[in-house]
Structure formats: C-alpha cells, structure tokens
Amino acid sequence: MAYPSVDKLQQTLASDVFSYAADTKKAAGRALGTLVEIMTYYTIRAWDMRDHIVIERALPEFGNPQITHNVEFSLHPIVGKEQKQIASCALPITVAKIKSEIGLLSGFDAEHLNRSNQLLTSRDTRRNSCVLAENGSGMVVANIDAHSDERVEFTACKLHPQPFAVFECKRVGVEEGMKKGPQTIEKAKQGAYVARAVSSLQKLRSRSGEAIGYIESSDGTIVSGPLTETIKTIIDSHDGGLLCNFILTVGVVSNHGNWFTSENQNKELRVLAQSYDWLLFLTDAGLAQFIDELLLHPVEELAAARKAFLSSYGTGQSGSNRFTKVQMDNSADAALQYYFKSHAQEVEGWYNVISPHSGTVKKLRDELAVLGAKNWKQIHGL
C-alpha cells in the first residue's frame, strides 16, 4: 500500500495502532524513530557485521578525548573471538552464569564486569550486542547464535575501543501542522559536528569549494586530496597511522513529514551531506513498505516481530519493551534476521545515497567489509 508522505503513514499508525494514547501522533512518531533504528541495525547485520557492533556508545573526539558523544551504532575491530555452547539454564542468562565459559573475560577484573546486563532475560528477550565487560583495553560483547530447551549457543568478541565506522540515524524535517523551527536545523548541526569530530580524517574546503580530506600517516607525512579519493586511500592502505584513528562516518536520514526527498534537498540534508563520509536517505517508500508488511498488512514471515511490537507499543500498558535496537524478543529477532537477509537486495533499494555522489550501497558495504577484515592487532600494536 502506497502512502503519499511519511505524515500520512504516521497518521495511519496513530489511528490503527496507537489509538489508546493520549497523544496518538506523538506515540506514532516515537515508534517511527525506533523502527528506523531497527531497520538500520538489521541492515548492518545482514551485511555480516553483527560481531563488530556496539550500541549507544560514547566516543571521544579525535585529539580532544575529554569530550565524548553518544553514537547509535559503532563498528569495532575484533581482536579476539570465541564461539561457545552451554547447557540451557534457568533464565535469565547473566554474566555471572557464563563468565567461567569465556576465556576473553580473564583479563577483566570483577569491577569491570557488567553484571546487570542479561544476554537473555526471563521473558525470552535478548540483548543485542550485550557488553559483558569493559575496561581501557576494550570490551567483550556477546550475541546469541541459537537457543533451545537443550542449549544456548553464543559468540563472544573482544573489541578494540576505537571503532572503524559509526552509524547515526536522523529524522529531520517538519511534521504536518507544525511551523519550521530552529530545532530542525540544530538537530542536523549536532549530527554534523559529531561526524566531523570523532575521526582523524579532517575535512576542508578548497578555494573552489571542493571537499578535501586531510590526514597524517605513521611517518608524519600528510595525505590529502579530494575527499572521496583520500577516503579510498585510507581504506586501501595498511598504514597504521592512517587507519588507527580513522572512523568511516555514516548517517542514515529519514523524512519527518512530507518535506524533502533525496532529490529535493533542504538545508538540514545539505548540512549532513557535507559532514558524513556517507549519507543514506531512507526513502518514504522503503519505510512505508517495511511498516506496512510489519504492522498494517502483515506478512507471515514477520508475524513474530509484529507480535513483539504490539506487545511493546500497542496496548498502552507499561512494562519491559521487547522491540528496540537493544532489547529484542527472541522470536522477533529470528524473523527480522531472516527478513533482512532474504530481502537484502530489495532492502538496499530502500536507501538512496546522498553522498558521496558516486557512491552506491554496495560500495559502502564493500568498504565496511574491507575495514572489518584489516589486521587490527598489528595496526594497534597488540
């Protein structure tokens, strides 16, 4: 079913799903934001990057570490990996129950263990990218691979604290019935500042207005040139000086109201496009298709995800949310993994590349794969 704008989609959600809420449109708007994050997360997972992901992590500015910024998804080098299988035990599955099975935790003192984090809760809700322990050397993150009455299989990875990529989701624009206000451009400026501040790659403008990349190599030589060429040089390089503090920044923008498109860019979109290395526009059609198949005209393969969504958002009753980028119902997770993997080509078509001009989603996926496969132990001198 086609929707003429995101506003119309939001109105449909407000009337069909959130009729119980005191402010139906606000409830639907918040749910749209959550759905964009979930779509982004499962898209990254479909690119086989799951074990690199940390969710909602504070990252320091390059050269100014006392200032940090939270980012939705950061992708980190894997410096250690263990695949484990344990006999099923009474839920929840906590750090205390599995720590003796994980050799990667041997280098962490007791005070560095995140004892409150549960890999799987008593309500059969998994914690995506569950941080088991963290100290200055990095973090150990676990993800469930399989769960049955007999056993639990999971993968634990030791991740370096310095990521090689970050993803941020931004909904910008003006809702129907609202006047354009300063908060919309301020939100874009905030995202733009973070995108420019966390990486060692510095961005300048030549006198002609061309975007120039500027970065220092391990021997102190300055590498500079047109931005897209400089980024390619860094990604193709094995120079630890170029790579160790470089972060590929990716913004995912979705419309907030029938306000702009990837072809009809407004000020907010232009601000973001010149700041992120990659800016993807999640089209209205892509967002509408996923929500339509999940909620409004549900398809069978997303039945478990729909059930989890409605149990979290569709009743108006308070309780533990089982449908977020962090906490996800176990059956819903399996359904979403299958959907995004089996519809990978179609899903990639939901995103338009705003910048770089010559970019494609496949090229971004390939760059992430190249970065993930680097010899990060050597790069970071481990």
Look up residue 295 and give its DSSP letter.
I
For 250, the token pair is: 């990716």
Cα(171)–Cα(166) distance, integer angstroms: 17
What is the pLDDT, as a whole number, of residue 24? 79
Greater model confidence, 299 or 107: 299
Cα(84)–Cα(136) distance, integer angstroms: 25
Is the pLDDT at 316 greater than 60? The verdict is no
Cα(68)–Cα(41) distance, integer angstroms: 22
What is the pLDDT, as a whole number, of residue 318? 58
The mean pLDDT value for 68-73 works out to 96
- Tens digits of residue pLDDT in 214-235: 999 999 999 999 999 999 999 9
Provide the β-strand partners of residue 126.
120, 328
- Tens digits of residue pLDDT in 154-199: 999 999 999 999 999 987 655 555 555 445 677 788 888 999 999 9
- Max CA pair span of the chain: 66
Mean residue pLDDT of the chain comes to 89
Is the pLDDT at 134 greater than 50? The verdict is yes
Closest CA to 159 of 104, 119, 199: 104
**Contact of 194 with 71, CB cutoff 8 Å:** yes
Closest CA to 17 of 312, 230, 300: 312
For 134, the token pair is: 């963290």
Look up residue 293 and give its DSSP letter.
I
For 261, the token pair is: 């498109």
pLDDT band per the 50, 70, 90 thresholds, residue 3: low
Neighbouring C-beta atoms of residue 21, cutoff 10 Å: 16
For 326, the token pair is: 């962090």
What is the pLDDT, as a whole number, of residue 246? 98
Question: Tokens 């029938």 map to which residue?
Answer: 258
**DSSP letter string over 244-287?**
TT--EEEEEEEESSS---SSS--HHHHHHHTTSSEEEEE-HHHH
Residue 60 phi, psi (nearest 5): -80, 155
For 260, the token pair is: 């702009």
Cα(143)–Cα(137) distance, integer angstroms: 20
Q: What percent of the chain has pLDDT over 70?
A: 91
142 Cβ contact list (under 8 Å, min separation 6)? 98, 102, 119, 130, 132, 154, 155, 156, 157
What is the pLDDT, as a whole number, of residue 265? 61
The mean pLDDT value for 71-100 works out to 91
Residue 167 phi, psi (nearest 5): -120, 135
